[in-house]
Structures are given as C-alpha cells and as structure tokens.
A and B are shown apart, each in its own frame.
Chain A
Amino acid sequence: MRTFSPYRHKKRNTSVILLALIIISGLMMFNNHLLASQINKESKFSEAVSHYDARNYDEALKAFLSLVDAGIESYEVHYNIGNTYFRLNQIGKAIVYYKRGLRLKPNDYQLQTNLDFAINQTQDRQETAEPNPLLEIIFNTLNSISLNGWFLLSFISFLPVIAMINIMLIYYRKRDKTVPVFLLVLFLLIFIITISATTYRWQRYIDSSTAVLIASASNGYSGPDSTYTRLFTINEGIVLKVVNKNEDWSQVGLPNGMIGWIKTDDFLLVNPPSS
C-alpha cells in the first residue's frame, strides 16, 4: 500500500488546482463589461442628478429614462426614476420603478422605504401582511446576497457534492461507506438549500405578472370589454397581478383577491423593464 502514496498526492494536487481554476474563471466572467459608452452614460447620469437638484424634474426624468433606453438595468437608476416620478406626482409610475429597482436589489432599504411611502400615498388600501419574524430573517438573508451571488454560491456548494461522489467512486468502491455517505448527505443538504434560495430569487427576478396601475383610475369588468358588468374601480398606484395579458384588455387580480379585466394601457408591468 505504502507504494501508492505518491500517486494519491499527485491526484489531489491536480484536483485542487482544477477547482481553483474553475472558481477563478467563474469570477472573471462577471467582469466582462462594455467600456465603450461608459463615460457617456456617466455624464448623462450626473446631468440627470443636477436637473433633479435644480427641481427640474421633467428634464431629470428624460435623462434618467434615456439611460434605461440605452439598455442599462441598474437599481440606482430605477430608484432615481421612481423618485423623479414621485416628485412629478405620478405615484403609479414611481411604484413601478421602485419595484423594478427592488427586482435588482431586493434588500435596498431606501428603495423599500420609498416604495412603502409611495404605496401609502395611494388611494386604495393595499394590505401588507404583518411579517413573521422568522420568515423576516430568512427573507432578509435571501435578499442580502445578489442573484448572481446565489448562482455562484449554489455552484460552489455543488462542488463538494461532486467531489464527494468522485472520491466515493475512486476510493470507496469496496469499503465501508458510512463516513462518505454522511458527508455526501450533508453537502447535498447545503446544495439543496442554496439551489432553493437561488430558485426563489430567480423566480422573483423573472416574474412578469406584477404590474402597477398608472392611469389615475381604471374600471374592472367581468370580460374584455366595457360592455360587460363593471366589477370594481381601482386607483393609481395599486399593485396588480396580471393573469392574462392581451393587446387591449388584460385580466388582473387585485390584492384583495378580486379578478377583473382592465385596459392594458392602464397598467405597467414591473418586468420587462421598459418605459
């Protein structure tokens, strides 16, 4: 047996190096960005900020929105647009942009506070359930790491699972497997937790059913036309769940559980982010 030891050492060294290489190359990938129009965007942003400071909200909005049109998806820009809409007294659009910001950075305190403040200004009561303290801690943890961070974490937690299986395939073919199986279960549990968290965050990110009413008021009907029975009237800023989106009329659900058809132009979806 003794004679095999140099071989085992060599194998372990190579696998460690391989693992490190995988992680490093993974990290490197996040940094691939376009520098071409970066400076142009920076100047556009600071121009918008100075417009905002001069209480020139229309100009500020135009400048911020041009950044979004250029394909920038940044929570700071969404947040600033939300604030600008709030100042322009367009609560509905302000809520949409705060929600778009939160979609990218769910744990941002200022975003959340401004969203709550804006929702408080709306006319319709929108119940926010009293949070369970345990769930609160869990969601805070979930939200404190970015979506890409979760992807990376789930990948990193996947590595010991694969490594453990590999070790078992190589060294534990005809031996007592109690210890490796125990470790494998442990690693698998960690992996399941991280992959569930990632899935949750991913679902939140790709969710394209949340919308906000941006018309000052809208009537809900029992069918996709105003000749149907009128079911309710909702006011700007109410958060909706879009069940069925069509060209002219869409079926939406209200926070209180009611479902009806409203005009598609009256609301704005949080995702996809387009003005």
Chain B
Amino acid sequence: MMLATWLVGRDLRRAPSRLLRQAVTLSVLATLAMTLSTLVDTLDRRSTGLLRAVEADLVVFNAEARQQVLRSRVPAPGMIGVGFVDGVHDVGVLSVVPTTVGHAGDQTRATLVGFNARTPAEPTRVLDGRLPTDGEPNIAAVDAALHRTGIEIGDRITLGGSLDVEVVGVIPEARFLQQPTVWVPPEVWARTGARAFPERGYAETLLGVGLAEVQVGRDAAAVAEDVVADLAEEDLDVEVVARREALAAVPGVAAIRATFGVLVILALGVVAIVAAGFALLQADRDRTLHAELRAIGAEPRLLAGVALLRLAALWLTASAVAVVLTGALAAATPAGVPLTVRAPVLVVVITLLGAAVFAGGALGVLRTRRTDPVEALGERW
C-alpha cells in the first residue's frame, strides 16, 4: 500500500494537470447529481417547512379534511379532549390561512400560522427575539425567508391588507406550500381568517390541526388509535397520523416526489452508471502500461492498488470541485429558485458517486488482471 501511494504521488507530481483534466467530467456529473438532489430536497422542504418546524409526534385532522392542513377544522372541544387521552403528554393547535404581508410599501404572499405557545405547536428554534404567546394582541414572529426580505424585529407589518402587527421574533425558514410564514397567537389568526374567508365565519372555535406529543415509552401508533376512539365517543371524526405521514400529505408534495423525485432518482442512477463507466475507462486507459509492467514483474496487487488510489484521488477532487460549483450555483441563482444546499444531501451524493467510481474501477482492474500482457501489448487498432 505504501508503494502504491508513493507511485500515485509520483504520478501526480509528474503530471498534476492530468488528474484535474480527468476530474472535469466527474465533477460535472457530481455537480449535476448534487444540483438535482438539492432541488428536490429544497422543493420538498419549502412545501413542508411548517410541519418540520415543530416537534410533535402526532397530527390530528378532522376526518373530512383528508390530512390537508389548510382545510382541517377540528372543533375546540375536540382538541381539549385529545389532551386527556391516555399516553398524550401535551397537545397544541396549529391553524393556517393564506395571507399577504405588507411592509414598507411591498406586498408579499405568505401563510399565516396561528399556534399555541409552549405546546408541541410551537416552533422548536428561534433565531432572534421571541415567540408570541397566547392572548398577546397584534404581535407576530416571521420566518427567515421573510426576514431576508428586510423585515426586522420591531417593524410593523400588515396582515391581509388590514391588520397591523409588530414583529417580535425570527424563526428558521419554515415555508408552507412554497410561501414564507408569519406566526401569530390563535386569536390573531382567527380574526385574519374570518376577514379573508367570510364563508367560514369567525374561526376561534374551529381550529386547524392538533399537534400531540406522546409520553416517553408509549407507542405513538397505539396512542393515535386511542385518540380516534376517544373522540369518536364524542361524535367527532378525526384522523390522527404520524408527522411524517402529514408531511407527505401536504398538497403538491406527493406530486413533487412522484415526478421530480422519481426523475432525480433516475438521474442519480444514470450519473452512477456513467461515473462507473468513466472509472472503467480510466482503469482501461492504463491497460497497456500495466501489461508492460506486469511483463517485467510488477505485482498485480500493486497495480490494482495504484489504479484504485488514483481513482480515489479523482473522486475526492471531483467531489470537492462539485461542492464548490453547487454552492456557487445556489448563491448565484435568484431566491425564487429552490436551491438551498444542505450538507446531508451532498454527503449522500458523494457517497453514491464514490460507490459508482469504485465499482467501475474494480471492474477495470479485474479486466486488466485477466488480460494477457502479450495480447495487450500487441493490441490491434
């Protein structure tokens, strides 16, 4: 291994540009894979950020809402009932309504979120300031997406074109259906919702979704069944699902996963195959050289080590270049393009690429080992 490393090092020193030249293709493929994976990841997160911002185990919808947060309206007594079900540790309410945010003469589309403070419906992280508490009049917290448009703590914003509120906090980006979110006490949500959707009437007694935290050691699925059964006794038909299921039910998410997601998985497959083919070609490129070296007594194991180490250097260089390129692309594209780079996504792509490169390389090495030196040296065009 030492000798193989030394040989690869000598080769790199002798012609450093060769590695870079070879890395270009792999870098482009890796950038493609990283960009596509980041796009689908960001699209998904911008649709579901609202439910990702909270840390509940179960989400309670009224049965007719069919797991749609926007449509769900659970009667207030039902939500109180959830809190008394055996196994439920805490329960809160989260209600949403499409609205607009007016600030400094600009109007932005947003989702207004009414939530109970100090319950599972509260965002788990606050970047700056504080969260509104129940009953506080005319205050709000905005998510980082709105904060980036210039809204600061202490500013006054207009909700739905009519209600002025003061911003008291900023939470991490928590978009819903690609829109930024404004978090307010339930009363503010009810007032704004009643103005925006007159057919629904004043909404304080009809809440959005319930978010429940299950006691430690209890099975969430069993508790969900208990909640449904308990509320059915009070003639309330509810659907209780795990948060992951609720994320998948957000409008558009299934469509994004079924179309864009599937295409991206296909693309990753194609990238993996092409990267493996490229690595095979690279190993194949040195077939004659290796045949010559084997003819003069070099050990096949050493030659295989050299080939695989060279591919490892290639893979690492290409991955580093791709991370830089993807980051630059994300920084250069307008905020509207859903391209927010996250480390776990990049790590997955780098791992996949590494697996493909080493699989192709291993095939190439096997092919080289099986080649008769005489045959390789006398290869016809």
| B is bound to A | no
